[in-house]
Amino acid sequence: MSEEQKRLLEKQLWAIANLLRGKMDADDYRNYILGFIFFKYLSEKLHNYANHILKSDPFTFEEINENTEEGKTYLNAISKACIKELGYFLKPSELFTSIANKGYNLTDIETNDNDEATQYFIIEDLERILNNIEQSTMGTDSEDDFVRLFEDLDLTSSKLGKTLKQKNEIIAKILTHLDQIDFQLEDTESDVLGDAYEYLIGEFAASAGKKAGEFYTPQQVSTILAKIVTSRKKRIKSVYDPTCGSGSLLLRVAKEVDDVGYFYGQELNRTTYNLARMNMILHDVHFSKFDIKQEDTLEEPQHLEMDLKAEAIVANPPFSANWSAKPIFSTDDRFSQYGKLAPKSKADFAFVQHMVHHLDDNGIMATVLPHGVLFRGAAEGHIRQYLIQDRNYIDAVIGLPANIFFGTGIPTCILVIKKCREVNEDILFIDASNEFEKQGNQNKLLEEHITKIINTYTERKVIDKFSYRATLKEIADNDYNLNIPRYVDTFEEEEPIDILEVAKELKTLDIDIAKTDATIADFCKQLNIETPF
C-alpha cells in the first residue's frame, strides 16, 4: 500500500467519522465507526471464503436463493464450513453490501417524519443481522470471542438523531460511505483494513483526551516494547498483556516476528474489551489463537487457574491505580513470595508482580510505569529490592520523554524483566527523556529515537549522557533506588565565565548608553520638550 493510497484511505475514513462528530463524544462515535468497519470486515471475509467454497459451482454466494430447498442445502453446507474456519456465518442477504445497497437511496427519500411507517428502516435489518452473527457462534468454539461483541453499537441511541428517520439516514450514510472503500482483503500481502483500524483508534485516542489512556498506547511506545520482548527471536510461543486495552500492543508484537503461537489478554473496561476482540479478528488472528478476557486483572485474574506462562509480556497498566490490597492476597501465588503487597493507592508493583508470575523462564517482559516505581520506599522499595537482590530479574530501565501519552504529561519509564538473564552482573539504564520531536501538544518518538533505544538495549552499550550499566553492587549501595539520574549523568557543564571580560563589556555598554542618552537629550532640547530621564 503506497503512502498516497494510505493518505486517501485515512481521508475517507475520517470523512465518515465526521458524520458523527459534533453529535457525540469521541469515545461514543468511535464505537459506531469501528463497529461498522468490523461488520464490513466480517461480511467481506465470509463472502470471499464462501465464494472460494463455490469456485467449482456455476454461481456465487450472493446468487444463492435463500428460499429454495436447493439454496437452503447449499447455505447449510457453507454455514458449517464457515463456522469451522471463520467462527461465524452470514446469509447472502445479510452481507454488508446487501444492507448498504438498500441504504443508498434512503437519504434521497422525502417523507414526513410522522409517516415513518412508509419508510424502509435499515436499523431493523442491522439489529437482526448483528444479532444473527452472534447467534451463529452459539455452542461453537468461537462463542466466547463473539458473545455480546456488538453491544456498544446502540442503533437506538438518541445521539444518532431525535427521530427514527434521522437515525436511519445517518446510519445509511455511514454504510454507503464505507461500502465504497476497498479494504483489499484478498491481498494477503497487505493489511489495509488492519492499518485503517489502527489509524482510527489512534485518531480517536487523540480526540478522547484523558480517556485515551484506557485503550491506547502510542504506536512508538508499542514498537519499543514489542522489539524488546522479541529481541533475537523469530517466533513467540505466547504473548500476554494483562491490561490489553484495544489489543494494539499484542498485535504490535506479532508484527515483529514471523509467528505468534497464542495471544492472551485481559481488560477491565467492557467497551474496550469488545474493541480488543474486534481488533484481533480484524487483524486475521484466528479465533482459536487468542483468549481475551474481561475482568479486573488484579482482583479477578482470568488466566491464573490455567497457570499461564507467557514467553513475551507487554503492558501499559493504568498509572498508580487503586486496588484493594486485601490481606488474602498475601497468600496469592502472585504476591506471597515478596512478603509485602503494593500499597492500595499505587498498584504499579502489583501489576509487575502479576506479570512476573505469568512470565515463562525463557521470557521477556516490558512494561510502561510511572517513575515513582524506581525510587519510592516502604512496600514498593521492599518489592523492588526483592526483584533485584533475591531474584536478579530486572534487566533494564528505560526513561521515556514526558508528554508522549494521551491524557497525561508525566514522564514514564519502561521496566524490562527477564527470569533468565544473559547478563547477571548489571542493570542497563537508558535515559531517552530528550529523544523526541515536538508535534503540536504532544512529544513524539521518531524512528531514529526508537532505533537508538533498541540498539542500545540489545547491544547493552554505554553511551555518554545516554546509557550506563550499573553493577548490582552500585545498585545495592544506592539502597536499590533505580532513579535514572543516579546512574546516567546528563549534566552539561557550562562554559567558564571570564569575569574581567564581562566587566569590560559592561563598561563599554555604560559608555554607549551615556552617548545615547546625550543624543536623546539634544533631540528633546531641539523639540522643546521635557527629557524622559
| 349-387: pLDDT as tens digits | 999 999 999 999 999 999 999 999 999 999 999 999 999
Sheet holding 239-241, edge to edge: 290-294, 263-267, 239-241, 310-315, 359-370, 412-418, 394-399, 426-431, 467-471
What are the Cα distances from residue 446, in Å, to 198, 255, 443, 450? 18, 18, 10, 6
Angle at 97 between CA 142 and CA 164, to 5 degrees: 95
Task: State residue 518's pLDDT score.
Answer: 86
CA separation for the pair 358, 147 (Å, rounded): 26
Task: State residue 1's pLDDT score.
Answer: 59
Q: Which residue, among 304, 313, 296, has the nearest Cα to 367 in the 3D structure?
A: 313
CA separation for the pair 472, 463 (Å, rounded): 19
H helices within 345-478, ranges in order?
A: 348-358, 372-375, 378-385, 447-459, 472-477
User: So what CATH class is 215-486?
Assistant: alpha beta
Grid cell, residue 127, equals 439489529
Q: Which helix (H) or strand (E) holds 124?
A: helix 122-136
* Digit-coded pLDDT (tens) for 306-358: 999 999 999 999 999 999 999 999 999 999 999 999 999 999 999 999 999 99
Contact 368, 315 (CB under 8 A): yes
φ and ψ at residue 140, rounded to 5 degrees: -110, 175
What SS3 state is found at 531?
coil
Domain coordinates of the chain in residue numbers?
3-206, 215-486, 497-533
Q: Which residue, among 320, 323, 441, has the nearest Cα to 371 in the 3D structure?
A: 320
List the chain residues with pLDDT less than 50.
107, 109-118, 210-212
Grid cell, residue 529, equals 520638550
CA separation for the pair 153, 42 (Å, rounded): 15
**DSSP string computed for 182-215:** ---TT-TT--HHHHHHHHHHHHHHHHHGGGGGGT
Amino acid occupying residue 533: F
Contact 468, 361 (CB under 8 A): no
What SS3 state is found at 448?
helix
* Digit-coded pLDDT (tens) for 470-506: 999 999 999 999 999 999 987 666 678 888 888 888 8
Q: Which single residue is written with the C-alpha cell 494510505?
A: 6
CA separation for the pair 288, 460 (Å, rounded): 38
Amino acid occupying residue 368: V
Burial of residue 61, with CB atoms counted within 10 A of its CB: 0-12 exposed, 13-18 middle, 19 or more buried: buried
Task: State residue 206's pLDDT score.
Answer: 66
CA separation for the pair 309, 313 (Å, rounded): 10
Task: State residue 477's pLDDT score.
Answer: 97
**DSSP string computed for 144-181:** HHHTTTTTT--TT-GGG-SSHHHHHHHHHHHHHHHHT-
CA pseudo-torsion sign 441, 446, 450, 452: negative
Amino acid occupying residue 244: C
Task: State residue 465's pLDDT score.
Answer: 93
Helices vs strands, H then E, count in the chain:
17, 13
> Which CATH number describes the domain made up of 3-206?
1.20.1260.30
